[in-house]
Amino acid sequence: MREVVMNQKTNLLQLEEHFYQLVDVEEPNVFHNLFPYDEIPKIAFNDRIVPHNMPENIWITDTTFRDGQQSRAPYTTEQIVTIYDYLHKLGGPKGLIRQSEFFLYSKKDRDAVYKCLERGYKFPEVTSWIRASKQDFQLVKDIGLRETGILVSCSDYHIFYKMKMTRREVMNLYLSVIRECLETGISPRCHLEDITRSDIYGFVIPFCVELMKLMDEYKIPIKIRACDTMGYGVNFPGAVIPRSVPGIIYGLTTHAGVPSELIEWHGHNDFYKAVNNSTTAWLYGASGVNCSLFGIGERTGNTPLEAMVFEYAQLKGTLDGMDTTVITELAEYFEKELGYVQPSRTPFVGSNFNVTRAGIHADGLLKNEEIYNIFDTGKFLNRPPLVSVSNTSGLAGIALWINSYYHLPKEKGVDKNSELVKMVKVWVDKQYEEGRVTVLTDNELVEEIGKCCKKLKIDTLER
């Protein structure tokens, strides 16, 4: 018989009447009605709405050196330490980038862990991801880590087809492995792989109930990472499980009794939903969202960490000390040191993310940059709004380019009625009349502006 408890958010007595026990099926339930392999997956609804339940404290965790590193050339030890330093600075004094997880398999990875630990940062806490074996547990213990991630695949696709086991067999295996981990004094973080194709009430909830019993027995936290491995999760109210992110998080908190601070969402972007799904996990009761820098990860990638920094600020109304200028520094580091160039239209970090080409937009920016800039990108990202000059830029676009490129203060800036701007516009138009199809480069514009200044007998502009 379950205890009647007070819900501290609603101030109402609450009794969860349902008991969910393992449903040990003979044949796998792979939800082919939702995931027909020879058709596009289906999003179905039953209009069962669950309430918002955002925790008081939410945070970001990082998988750049684990999931992120699986999809690219391995980082060097020095690169890992540098990026880790950036993550520490980005997370701010409150440590809102709470953890960063590492592989431990190679000497290079272990060297990076040791060097990051030597930094002495409280946040991001160094944590690991290992195979479920005694040898790996001992490795975690020898290094001195307090927590490790362990893969516990939970869909019948994995249980029956990959592991060749039944639900009961795999649950018993997982629980024995978790118990071994607890016996070493290490806090396990259970990665529920492929949760958005799993039987939530027939396997996931009963399994998590057993994990909570182990946590009570050993008095060691057990985290649940809900892994949207294939990106099937949706945030729509009333969508059916297992695709419903609100439904999954509600089931974990309400039916399995997992505290919000022990729930993490790990998303993938196969259907362009990684950011929305991560935000939704926060809104419905998960304290943590697991991300990688710039979304670098398996296939279409993980939830971009920088995106969730700004999602946090939008939800909380404050950055709580996070230093967002570090995002630009990281993007520059990835380009210069790693040769990783962001797609030009990537939010916050792409070369064109706050660059306009349309003359009418440039005219608005020239009058007041709030009209066409999402926020003060100069303040938060050290990237003031820019224009690229082409045949569509107009006088306003050229004026804005000159003011931005030469960092002219407002009182010394040019406007679209300036003789300099008009002269440059004549030259720009001539380029495209003669067949040019590409935007003008900074060097070309600088050279022509220098010539125009001489013709107008005015001081040459200096950057």
At 370 the pLDDT is 87
Q: Which CATH class is domain 2-321?
A: alpha beta
| 360 SS3 class | helix
What's the mean pLDDT when you consider all of the chain? 93
Residues belonging to the chain: 463
At 133 the pLDDT is 76
Give the residues across from 268 on adjacent strands: 302
CB-count burial class (<10 Å; 0-12, 13-18, 19+) for 120: exposed
Distance (Å, whole) CA 229 – CA 388: 39
At 117 the pLDDT is 97
Mean pLDDT of residues grouped by 10 in the chain (463 residues)? Answer: 82 84 96 97 97 97 95 93 98 98 91 97 96 82 94 97 97 95 95 98 98 98 98 98 98 96 98 98 98 96 98 98 98 96 95 76 73 91 86 87 87 92 95 90 92 92 83
At 134 the pLDDT is 77
Distance (Å, whole) CA 437 – CA 228: 43
Distance (Å, whole) CA 379 – CA 218: 48
Q: Are 206 and 174 in contact (CB under 8 A)?
A: no
Q: Are 287 and 297 in contact (CB under 8 A)?
A: no
Q: Are 310 and 79 in contact (CB under 8 A)?
A: no
pTM score above 0.85: yes
Distance (Å, whole) CA 63 – CA 422: 51
Ordered by start, the domain boundaries in the chain are: 2-321, 387-454
Q: Tell which residue, 49, 66, 158, has the closest CA to residue 103.
A: 66
Q: Tell which residue, 174, 274, 242, has the closest CA to residue 32.
A: 242
The DSSP secondary structure of 210-276, one letter per residue, reads HHHHHHHHHT---EEEEEETTS--B--TTBPTTTBHHHHHHIIIIIS---GGGEEEEEB-TTS-HHH
- The answer for residues whose C-beta is within 8 angstroms of residue 299's C-beta and 6 or more apart is 71, 268, 270
| Neighbouring C-alpha atoms within 13 Å toward the C-beta of 281 | 34
At 357 the pLDDT is 66
User: CB count, 10 Å around CB of 244?
Assistant: 28
Distance (Å, whole) CA 134 – CA 141: 10
Distance (Å, whole) CA 406 – CA 383: 14
Give Dmax (Cα) for the chain.
91
